[in-house]
Structures are given as structure tokens and as C-alpha cells.
Amino acid sequence: MEMTGFRHQVGGHFGLFECTGHVAKPVNAREMAFYELLTDNIRTFTPAYCGRVLVSTSISEKGELTLSTPSMFDCHKRLPHTPPSTSRPKKMRFRLKNGKVMVDLDKNENTFAGECQAKVVHRLLKNGPSWFILLENIVENFEMPCVLDLKMGTRQHGDDAPAHKVAAQMRKCAESTSALLGVRIVGMQLFDGPSGAFNFVNKLEGRKIDQQQFYDYFYLYLRACGEKRAKILKKRLEAIRNVLLEAEGFRFFSSSILVAFDAIGREDNIRVQMIDFAHSTFPGFCQDALYYGADDGYLQGVETLIAQLEFFLESFPETPESCASR
Ligand SMILES: Nc1ncnc2c1ncn2[C@@H]1O[C@H](COP(=O)(O)OP(=O)(O)OP(=O)(O)O)[C@@H](O)[C@H]1O
Ligand SMILES: [Mg+2]
Ligand SMILES: [Zn+2]
């Protein structure tokens, strides 16, 4: 089965591919084990995990690269009733030019995703086939996905991190809204109707903004969401909070909440999923150190978002451009 680049990736270190309703992410042994061993209460909030696949790449005489996996996966195909759209962009493919992996992207497109993925394709070419996990693609049925990746928690490093990484991660938390609010923006893409293009916020921007600017970006996203979706988002965050309050000993270091809706889709449709578990742990997982109680850093971030949503909904539709220091 063929895989192509995943156009709507807004964050992450490694490139993700897409195929029949899934995203394929390079295997991290801890993350794969986490998805396999996850308790049902948390699983309700994660994208479906559909196993692992071996991905290989081949190259044509013209330098066109094809990514493929020997397995077939029909478990999360695009919904049949989703109308085929002419605006839906063509598949994102890679080619080799002067020894470099290039991606076919128009300008105004998600170059961050293309660059991340080109690196992974390059590695596949160099090292041969490698394993990926398949996750339900949460934007699969969306025409113009507006996506927000929020990195949760006040601490990002796992216990397995080497000293230099601990220091770097702690600095990133201290210098960003992570330490203060328990959440920071990793990436955002918003569809802008008038220009017909997406606007992007990348992780460097997300790391350097202060509390006020964080609220401003969140409001930008919420205004695009509208009231119905914002209400659903708030309910979903409250449900995540309630489950995490009971999740004894769980820690979700460096994990995210991924939010997505379709700019031209149903107004009551919004996806809110917990993702990115390479540094997560729970009692008995991988002989990790034990933690007690709930993940307070993560919960702080969830409370920040719920409080902002309350404020947003109270003042809707006269939502202020910016929410003065509260
Ligand atoms: N199930 C999914 N459906 C749709 N998009 C997804 C899904 N999982 C991940 N993504 C996209 O891919 C990006 C990167 O994913 P993820 O955070 O898991 O990667 P990572 O390399 O482990 O991240 P980090 O650099 O934060 O450690 C996310 O920001 C999101 O845009
Ligand atoms: Mg991430
Ligand atoms: Zn599946």
C-alpha cells in the first residue's frame, strides 16, 4: 500500500506519513508500548492505535520516490459519505534531486511538514526499511483542517533523558508558557477564508511567546472555532481533567493535546485527542520510576485552557480581540 506525506502535521521532530485514514509515525519503542498497554479510561482520549508497519522506499528512473508498506489497512478509511472535493489537494510526494530529498509543495503550504518528512524519507533511503506506528488520522475527514497542538505539563523530560537534555527541556519550559500555565503552543494551522490559504504558527514562535500572547493565539483559534465547537472542546477538556485526576501515578511528559476542526465542515464537529507518548509513564510501565498522585503539571495546563474557554464563552459573540491580563 502506498504512503504519502502528511500535509497537516503542525509539530513534532519527525515526519509523519499518511495512508488510508492513518498517520504513520516513526516507531519509538516506549510510545508503541504505551499505546499497547494503555488503560481504557485514557484510551478513550487517544487516537486509535492500529499496529505497526514496515515502510520502505523505492526510486524511479526520474527520481520519484514511492513509500510503501506490504500490509493493507482498511480500518480507518475516509468516510464514504464525505463528498469528494476538488479543493482537496493532491497527495504529497517526494523526489530525489541532486542527492537531496525534495517534496512537492505549493507556496503557502505547510513547508514545516514537508521538511520534517523529507528527513525521514532520506533516512529510509539511507538505512532501508523501518517500522512506523499507525494511528487514526484525526483530520482524515476534514477538507480544511484547522489544527492546534498544545504541549501539556510543566515538565517535558522523561526520567530516561540524559543530563544535557534535562537541562535543555527545563530551560524551554522556564522560558515559555509551560512553566507558568502548564501548556504551550507547539504548532497551529488556521484556514483563512478570504485568502484561501492556511496561516501557521511554528514551535519556535510557540516557545517564545508570553502568557498574553498565548491567550491571544488561543482566542484566534477559538474565534475560528465558533461557539458550538468551543463548547464541545470545553466539555472534552473537562472529561480529560476528570480522568486524569483519577490516573494514579500517570505522567505525560512532553505529551500534547491535539485539537482539530474543519473550517468548511459541520459546526458541531471538533476532535480533541491526547497524543505523543514517547515520554509518558504509569506504575509498572517499562520498569520506570514510580510516581504518586495525578499529573499536576498536565492538569494545570488543562485548567488554564478551561478557564480561557469559560471566559471566551461568557463574552461570546463579543469576544475581545485580546483578553487583557487576567
Ligand atoms: N493521530 C494523528 N492525527 C493527525 N495528526 C497527528 C496525529 N498524531 C500526530 N499528528 C500530527 O503530527 C505532529 C507531530 O506528532 P507528535 O507530537 O506525536 O510527534 P513527535 O515527533 O513525537 O513530537 P515532539 O517533537 O513533540 O516530541 C502533531 O503536531 C500533529 O500535527
Ligand atoms: Mg509532539
Ligand atoms: Zn486503523
Pocket test for ligand 1, best of 149, 155, 183 (most atoms within 8 A of CB): 149
Distance in angstroms (rounded) separating the CA atoms of residues 171 and 179: 10
| CB of residue 187 inside a 6 A radius of ligand 1 | yes
Reference 198, options 145, 150, 151; nearest CA is 145
Secondary structure (DSSP) of 248-312: TT-EEET-EEEEEEETTS-TT-EEEEEE--TEEE-TTSTTPPP--S--HHHHHHHHHHHHHHHHH
Ligand nearest to the CA of 31: 1
Q: Which domains does the chain have, with CATH numbers?
A: 2-136 (no CATH), 145-314 (3.30.470.160)
| Probe residue for ligand 1, chosen from 23, 35, 178, 279 as the CB with the greatest number of ligand atoms within 8 Å | 23
Amino acid, res. 46: T
What does each C-alpha distance from 28 to 147, 188, 199, 286 come to in angstroms?
23, 24, 30, 13
pLDDT digits (tens, 9 = 90+) for 171-216: 999 999 999 999 999 999 999 999 999 999 999 999 999 999 999 9
Is residue 39 classed exposed, middle or buried when 0-12, 13-18 and 19+ CB atoms within 10 A define those classes? exposed
Please report, rounded to a whole number, the percentage of residues in the chain having pLDDT higher than 70: 95
> Band of the pLDDT at 318, cuts 50, 70, 90?
confident
**Mean pLDDT of the 302-318 span:** 93
- What residue owns the CA closest to ligand 1's atom 25? 12
Average the pLDDT over 54-68 and give the result: 95
The long-range contacts involving 273-277, CB below 8 angstroms and separated by at least 24 positions, are: 273/45, 273/46, 273/47, 273/138, 274/42, 274/45, 274/46, 274/240, 275/46, 275/47, 275/135, 276/12, 276/31, 277/30, 277/31, 277/34, 277/35, 277/46, 277/252
Say what the pLDDT of residue 90 is.
78
Q: In whole numbers, what is the pLDDT of the chain averaged over residues?
A: 93
* Closest atom of ligand 1 to CA, residue 256: 17
From the CA of 140, the nearest ligand is 1
What are the pLDDT digits (tens) for 20-41?
999 999 999 999 999 999 999 9
